[in-house]
Structure 1
């Protein structure tokens, strides 16, 4: 069975490669690409200044003892995305489930997990919504605000806390220079799409300020799929000789038709979500061998949902949540290696017309040590996550890597990662009730053991990675569907996921075609559930990502991508083609992009068909 699925998928993938050569482009001056490791510079030993910063120990992606993908600012600029979450659709191993595209509502799952089992962070601070994971990516960030996105694949609760059962996504914000800048962008397209963006930055003394704002609307592609969205983000940062600090404040407001989001019975569903975030970070060297890290974040969210948008009295849910987070960490460097300690405290509060009023206090303490013996590198860590309304959750694991290379022409490592992970149920899992769904206040913690064995080769023009992964999950939370179609939350005893993740990137250096990336994932899922469930079985079986970047005549840059998708619950293989073309006429940049060029038809999440071919064109002005 596995061989049949793999052969069918690979044949479809290879047969669809031929037309891709004619529709993509990219500038040869852009060096960073979307991939599992960051490209090395002309001297392989001079690794680029990119580090994975979400965990306790910073490290270069090429040396990471686990699977990691880094999407940097140049990748985001090249891809046909209008929202930060949309960039994750082009990372193999990540299943982006969008009920509403362009940042309306996105669920992120990694390596066979559910949308509640991946940690989403900004500058290392967790953003996951405690009401429901559907709202986690309701954040006031534009693609132009992002310096890079770090995607850690595999269990990561040891470093990122409860919820990072299958991986984590960490968003790093762009740091502007001291010179003042201003930018304006306008875009229009199918479905009456209209968008305007504004950004500006300036320095006052040693503090650099950056402000960005967006307003977007469209009429949708099916009835009641229209959107109106606004967001604003302010970032202030300063860097001294031995310390750097950052302040982040932002808000987003979006009202949208939710046809098919949660049930197919009411086509006039409607939702209004507003989110406010405020955070601060401080990194300082308090001694020659000791680093200090302090972080704090507040996230406030309001969610109003109606089954009939023009009749709020028929059925309306309102939810208000407040989340607070504080972290302090110390890292000691010595001739033996590094040792880090991270202490975290916080609280969650919800007041809901459906879920009731609840408050939770939480805390954690994590210790990690890194030791190196020649080419061998060992990381050991563990800790305890505590909750005022739940049993404590122990977590821990080890990462082991061995460098095979002995010369500077490439970096080759073998790595193994073993982790124990877990998460607590959301308030929706516990208390939600409507005619189609019933929560369960007796739910227990989810736990999982994950293992990964991998190899990575990094050279000047090519990177190759391959990893085998396995997750053994216990007490997994899902909704059992009865004969009437009603879902009831419960702990499913065992859910196992086993898979293979491979990728290759070539930077060809040609004047026309100069970048190719291929990623493939196959995974199998075994569940002990004796009845049909809502989320766990609805996962990827096979996934492929193909990307090329070109430099066309008239100095037109472009990117072509193809995604191949086969789900466990849908054996049909779907192929999605996207393209973006850009032409710079200083100080203007013209952008033309289109998604789903071949009008693929399938359901990505809920009961919502993916949008058909969607073309957009825009003009950006910057000084």
Structure 2
């Protein structure tokens, strides 16, 4: 544990800063909760269940929004999440929960899948701008019972909401590496009796010349996204119509080897959600995504791939209240995806599933939930995913919880069919499966909340790219058995109602690979991840946050990342300043892909009417 002395040394300055902070109005660090209220009673993910490890990150407070610029910035608040960015600005990032690979995390928008069927490297290539998202729910551990394939390590659910009021807001900024950002949010909130309840338009543009200068714009990017979110009211219930699109050309130098590559992705997303009375919910979503990859920017015709994939999903969910403390949630789902690719060929597949979850709560000190899902794919082939969770309240704010879950993942099209001189897919890959277990304690007393959870996951047929010789190509293969064992802990303390300190630490250990095996992904996890965050609002005017993280990847030395952000909280014009990697650390989240050193971005937020 050579990390711990180094961690203590790194955290000392931030702790001293926390003790000397002035009085203020309210903390600006997004609250991270373990139990929350679900959006509707028919949501399958048990976000109101205290017996599972669920984290909520609130994005709704306008005072703190300029302090973050991408979904990835918020996800870094959770030390059980490891981001593997190849470039900043939301361009391309992999996400891992509890040490699992980037392919084993499911990303959703309002409970609908947005994972890319081509490759999980594009799961966070979001069409929805950050300003359209009101909260992020993160499930630690298997979620396949509730959402199907890919939710082995966990799930990240990005949730939109009706406009809180009528307003317009523009953010303009610039900084290091000629970075510039323009973000727009315009919202209309109607009379509660109007059919058009609310409308919100959001758009963002983030661009940079790039920080890695080996050629013209070899790491530059132009990231564009826009969305319209409409809420309608009728006697049946609320209707939400979400439309979004994105366009991201970027330099991909070193992304997939020692090549001056470039890439351009485009996305289109449409979803409609209909509440039927209070307890029934119907959804339909469609996603189209294109990916143009050029291996050599200096010779575009030497090697290039063009991928076009589509995906759709429909579901019907219902909750029956069997008794005062007994709920039965159940539903059916259907989804499909396809790809037309110059490298992968033309393929398509469809799945269907049904799930059920029985939840008994407030049974004295005991709570219990049991669920199961049956998913059918490839004709008669099926996978059964059960889950169970239980909790016991000892009193005085102390609660114990335990959970079990089965997870599975179908291979992506790239896993199955990709081929180039450096990487070879495998059409005979089997689906991944997992069994996960966890148990923990939560304690809440006044303004203090503490939690600790131990977990273990056993994987079968895990998919990895591996080889036994450095000169050999990467080969997609099934790994028979991998076991991840670890623990996560968190401590949150609110000082005088206006400041907050959050500490978190996650430790993970996996069974070692076979002797001589060179693994590309399965063993590239953060063995230790510690975080200290502090937030304050000063005299109703200044919002500030700082976060210091220390990460140790497997077989590597630990490295620190320190960020500070400031913004005016109120007024028609609100200046802001974000400073990242203040320690100027040289580091790589993806092996072979260096990330920026110290960066500063500042600008103005203009609001009408003035923010209060």
TM (norm. structure 1) is: 0.91
| Deviation string, structure 1 residues 10-66 (Cα, Å, up to 9, x no partner) | 222221122114667798433575465259xxxxxxxx7676989526543xx5211
Q: Relative to 1, partners in 2 of residues 1:233 and 1:53: Cα closer, same or farther, differing over 3 Å?
A: farther
Within the alignment, does 1:166 sit opposite 2:162 as a pair?
A: no
Q: In 2, are the aligned partners of 1:398 and 1:419 still within 8 Å (CA)?
A: yes
Which residue matches 2:232? 238
Give the alignment partner of residue 215 of structure 1, picking from 205, 208, 211.
205
Contact 2:310 2:338 in 1 (8 A): yes
What does residue 415 of structure 1 align with? 401
Q: Which residue of 1 aligns with 2:261?
A: 269
Equivalence for 1:181 = 167
Judge which range, 468-477 or 552-561, deviates more. Answer: 552-561
Q: Give the counterpart of 2:442 among 456, 469, 476.
A: 456
SS state at 1:564 partner: strand
Q: Secondary structure in 2 aligned to 1:90?
A: coil
Q: Which moved more, 1:274-283 or 1:437-446?
A: 274-283
Q: 2:562 aligns with which of 569, 574, 577?
A: 577
The answer on 1:333 being equivalent to 2:325 is: no
Quote the residue 1:482 is aligned against. Answer: 468
Structure 1 residues 601, 19: closer, same or farther in 2, change over 3 A? same
Shift of 1:79: 7.8
Q: How many Å apart are 1:281 and its aligned residue? A: 1.2
SS at match of 1:325: strand
Residue of structure 2 equivalent to 1:44: none
Query: Does 1:424 pair with 2:410?
Result: yes
Higher alpha-carbon deviation: 208-217 or 76-85? 76-85
Q: Give the paired residue count.
A: 593
- Give the equivalent residue in structure 1 for 2:277: 285
Q: CA deviation at 1:93?
A: 0.5
User: How far apart in 2 are the matches of 1:292 and 1:440?
Assistant: 41
Local SS of the residue matching 2:343: coil
- Give the counterpart of 1:540 among 518, 526, 530: 526
Distance 1:352 1:361 in 2: 18
Displacement of 1:606: 4.0
> CA RMSD of the aligned region, Å?
2.3
Match of 1:45 in 2: none
Q: 1:369 maps to what in 2?
A: 358
Q: What is the CA-CA distance between 1:374 and the residue it aligns to?
A: 1.6
Task: Note if 1:30 corresponds to 2:26.
Answer: yes
1:139 to 100, 115, 126: 126
Cα 1:54–1:485 shift into 2, 3 Å: farther
Aligned 8 A contact 1:196 1:214 in 2: yes
Aligned residues of 1:35 and 1:70 also touching (Cα < 8 A): yes
Residue 74 of structure 1 and its aligned partner are, at CA, apart by: 5.4
Write the distance in 1 (CA, Å) between the matches of 2:39 and 2:456: 26
TM-score (normalised: structure 2): 0.92
Q: Secondary structure at the match of 2:6?
A: helix
**1:302 alignment counterpart:** 290
The CA distance in 2 between the partners of 1:147 and 1:609, in whole Å, is 32
Per-residue CA deviation, residues 397-418 of structure 1 (Å, 9 max, x unaligned), is: 101111222xxxx643211101
| Gap runs ≥5 in structure 1 | 40-47
Distance 1:54 1:275 in 2: 28
Contact 1:93 1:543 in 2 (8 A): yes
Q: Any idea what the Cα deviations from partners look like across 1:539-597, whole Å, max 9, x if unmatched?
A: 11000011011345794221010011001131x11011000011245111110111000
Q: CA offsets, 1:63-107, max 9 Å, x none? A: 521111111015793684311133112211001110011100011
Change (3 A) 1:379 1:325: same
* Residue matched to 1:359: 348
Superposition pairs of residues 493-572 of structure 1, within 5 angstroms: 493-509=480-496, 514-530=499-515, 531-552=517-538, 555-570=541-556, 572=557
Answer whether contact 1:34 1:91 (CA < 8 A) is retained: no
Structure 2 gap segments, 5+ residues each: none
Counterparts of 1:596 and 1:538, CA distance in 2: 22
